[in-house]
Chain A
Amino acid sequence: MRLIICGAGVIGSNLARYLSDEGHEINLIEQRQSTAKKASEKLDVRVIVGSATEPSTLETAGVAQSDMVIAVTNTDVSNLIICSLAAAYGAKRRIARVRDPSLKDLLQKFGMAHFHVDEIINPDRVAAEAIVKVMAAPGSREVADFADGKVLLRSFDIHDDSPLVNLKLEDLKEKDFPWPFLLVAINRGGSIVIPHGQDNIETGDRIYTLLPRPSLAEFLTFVHPSVRLPRKVIIYGATNTGESLAMDLSKTVPEVVLLEENRVLAERVAGSLNSVTVINGAASEADILRECGVEASDAFIAVSANDHSNLISAVLAKKLGAKTTVITTQQPDYEAIVSALDINVVINPRLLATDQILRLVRGGRISTVATLPECKAEVLELIPEPDSPVTKKPIRQLKFPKKSIIGAIIRDSEVILAAGDTQVQEGEQVVVFCQEDVVPQVQKFFSKRKLL
């Protein structure tokens, strides 16, 4: 496909990298000279310096012949203008990043077609949804849902109090167990193992598990025997993410406190969130955190616009007694620092937004993607074409790429966890875990074209 990506920020440059690796023709437009230079050094794509809201820049990028225009600059209004222009030139599909909730409401009210936008992506909303999932699965580090929420991927760090420690995988296999699960990968000290029956689970492992939705609760108790849903949560930052999170969590969590430094903002949200306690103050001050009742909190979630404040307040909250800490961060590079600190979950809204756009671009036969940067892996949901290689033999005989595993299959709306003798059939949804470098190989198994 011919794709134009507007904006070489975190979303734009990550998209460019993934999609050019998959063989798409990419034109990346970036206004800022320095950002553009960095992008052309790092990426194997054509970078055009200029404003994507200028018709001439779009023409240079070949907008009239493009299959898709992805507007992910840091201004909502520019993104909408880009889509309108691209439509006028005849670009086939258009995706815009829109963060402002009132703009999103407007788009929904008048219809997205009115603005010539096919899909809108809101990183704040995506982040809030991910955090809600984390809260519903205490102990989880990464979360992604597949097959319309029927299959869940959750990762967990294994501590020495987990009943799973030192168990062989085959000891956990019971045909009639009512809440089945499948371990698809273990990150052990930085190297990724696709586990087999003889492998043990060890303290310090991060395990990646595929679960049919009803199995989640049971598996949580295997990770941590005294797991319970959060009763008290403190959210720091009345950002778009913070506000929508407070609203969502207050439906299930008995006590939700929202902490906001800005007095005017704090007063505004206090008026709109009835069952949430809003406190005005700085999260980097121990006294304020104590006032919020941090010592009795199950989770401290820092979603302010400032990465540093999120990090510092989360470390402090943990010290003062918060059981779990979650932060959002805008910079992917931050994750290395974070893993050295005692922070439980890191949510990167832009990377989640990238995943969502990847799904839309890959389209049709790949409907869901989750990228797992820490283990350089992706989880894909694919639908095999008729006569594709994956449908010809049982999984055991497939010579599927190493570093990948077929995890779950949706057959007649039932979830089946894959085993060696399972045979995939055309049209089924199949969830595959694989390392980044074998994604194209995996895709070939699901397409009817011959294997190269």
Chain B
Amino acid sequence: MKIIDYLSPQDIVPTLEADNLEDVLREFAQHLGSLKKVKDPEKLVEILLEREKLGSTGIGNGVAIPHGRLPGLDKILVAFGRSPSGIDFHAHDDQPVHLFFLLVAPEESAGAHLKALARISKILKSPDCRRALMESANGEKLFEVISQEDERH
């Protein structure tokens, strides 16, 4: 699977305004709400928060993949956001998180869900990609970097 099958330029938030974990999740949920991709953004916040309470989705190197399963969804949703100042996301390496990939999957999809998470993690493993994402000037550039990296693998 490819990330760009699910991600379009409008799903990208180049500068997240939130300064804490819960607000980041809310900012993402509201963004998806404004795009009419999610009916009830607060429900999504609740699901994402519940997942963070079980254990952080911060995977280290300033990257987090907050995600959850939303009942009633018909396909996977992906969004990307960047926090220039970094957010304490309780990542296991204790580093603040700058790069966020949000993934929302339908309830029953274990296989696709797993593949999407693996794909995102693979793209963000490259230090060059992470640097490029930090340095991109705007949403279009960010989409370009993600698409290029997505094509390379």
Known: A178-B65, A221-B69. A214 touches B110 (CB 8 A): no
Known: A167-B111, A172-B110, A222-B110. A178 touches B55 (CB 8 A): no
A175 touching B118 by the CB < 8 A rule?
yes
B114 touching A178 by the CB < 8 A rule?
no
B37 interfacial by beta-carbon distance below 8 Å: no
CB closest residue in chain B, given A214: B92
Contacts of A325-351 to chain B: CB distance below 8 A: none
B114 touching A174 by the CB < 8 A rule?
yes
- Contact for B111 among A171, A217, A228, CB less than 8 A: A171
CB distance from A412 to the nearest CB of B (A): 15
> What is the 8 Å Cβ interface bit string for chain B, positions 44-81, against chain A (1 contact, 0 not)?
00000011011110010000010011000000000000
A229 interfacial by beta-carbon distance below 8 Å: yes
CB distance from B149 to the nearest CB of A (A): 13
CB closest residue in chain A, given B91: A214
B2 interfacial by beta-carbon distance below 8 Å: no
> What is the 8 Å Cβ interface bit string for chain B, positions 97-129, against chain A (1 contact, 0 not)?
000000000011111011101110110010000
Contacts of A437 in B (CB 8 A): none
B108 touching A221 by the CB < 8 A rule?
no
- Contact for B117 among A175, A178, A229, CB less than 8 A: A178
A228 touching B115 by the CB < 8 A rule?
no
Known: A163-B113, A214-B55, A217-B54. A176 touches B108 (CB 8 A): no
> What is the 8 Å Cβ interface bit string for chain A, positions 226-240, against chain B (1 contact, 0 not)?
111100000000000
Interface band, chain A: 20 to 34
CB distance from B47 to the nearest CB of A (A): 8
A220 touching B54 by the CB < 8 A rule?
yes
A216 interfacial by beta-carbon distance below 8 Å: yes
Contacts of A322 in B (CB 8 A): none
Contacts of B113 in A (CB 8 A): 163
CB closest residue in chain A, given B63: A178
B115 touching A221 by the CB < 8 A rule?
no
B53 touching A228 by the CB < 8 A rule?
yes
A175 CA to B114 CA in the complex, in Å? Answer: 11
A225 touching B55 by the CB < 8 A rule?
no
- Contact for A163 among B51, B54, B65, B110, CB less than 8 A: B110
A228 touching B117 by the CB < 8 A rule?
no
**Chain B contact residues: helix, strand, loop or mixed:** helix
A179 CA to B92 CA in the complex, in Å? Answer: 12
> What is the 8 Å Cβ interface bit string for chain A, positions 256-274, against chain B (1 contact, 0 not)?
0000000000000000000
A176 touching B121 by the CB < 8 A rule?
yes
- Contact for B59 among A174, A178, A216, A227, CB less than 8 A: A178
CB distance from A120 to the nearest CB of B (A): 32
B51 touching A177 by the CB < 8 A rule?
no
- Contact for B121 among A177, A214, A226, CB less than 8 A: A177
Contacts of A176 in B (CB 8 A): 118-119, 121-122, 125
Known: A174-B118, A177-B114, A225-B69. A218 touches B125 (CB 8 A): no
A181 CA to B57 CA in the complex, in Å? Answer: 15
Contacts of B55 in A (CB 8 A): 214, 216-218
CB distance from A225 to the nearest CB of B (A): 5
> What is the 8 Å Cβ interface bit string for chain B, positions 117-152, against chain A (1 contact, 0 not)?
111011001000000000000000000000000000
A164 interfacial by beta-carbon distance below 8 Å: yes
Contacts of B119 in A (CB 8 A): 176
A374 CA to B55 CA in the complex, in Å? Answer: 29
A201 CA to B119 CA in the complex, in Å? Answer: 24
Q: Which of A172, A216, A218 has the most CB atoms of chain B within a 10 A radius of its CB? A: A218
Contacts of A174 in B (CB 8 A): 114-115, 117-118
CB distance from A62 to the nearest CB of B (A): 50
Contacts of A178 in B (CB 8 A): 59, 65, 117-118, 121
CB closest residue in chain B, given A227: B54
A221 CA to B111 CA in the complex, in Å? Answer: 13
A172 touching B59 by the CB < 8 A rule?
no
Q: Which of A176, A179, A226 has the most CB atoms of chain B within a 10 A radius of its CB? A: A176
CB closest residue in chain A, given B65: A178
A225 touching B51 by the CB < 8 A rule?
no
A222 CA to B69 CA in the complex, in Å? Answer: 10
CB distance from B122 to the nearest CB of A (A): 4
A225 touching B118 by the CB < 8 A rule?
no
A226 CA to B121 CA in the complex, in Å? Answer: 23
CB distance from B132 to the nearest CB of A (A): 19
Given contacts A221-B69, A228-B53, 16 further A-B contacts (CB under 8 A): A163-B108, A163-B109, A163-B110, A164-B110, A167-B111, A174-B117, A175-B118, A176-B118, A177-B114, A177-B117, A177-B118, A178-B65, A217-B56, A225-B107, A228-B50, A229-B50
Chain A to chain B contacts (Cβ below 8 Å), 7 pairs: A171-B111, A176-B118, A177-B121, A179-B117, A216-B54, A221-B54, A228-B53
Which 3 A-B residue pairings sit nearest by Cβ, starting from the closest? A217-B55, A163-B110, A217-B54
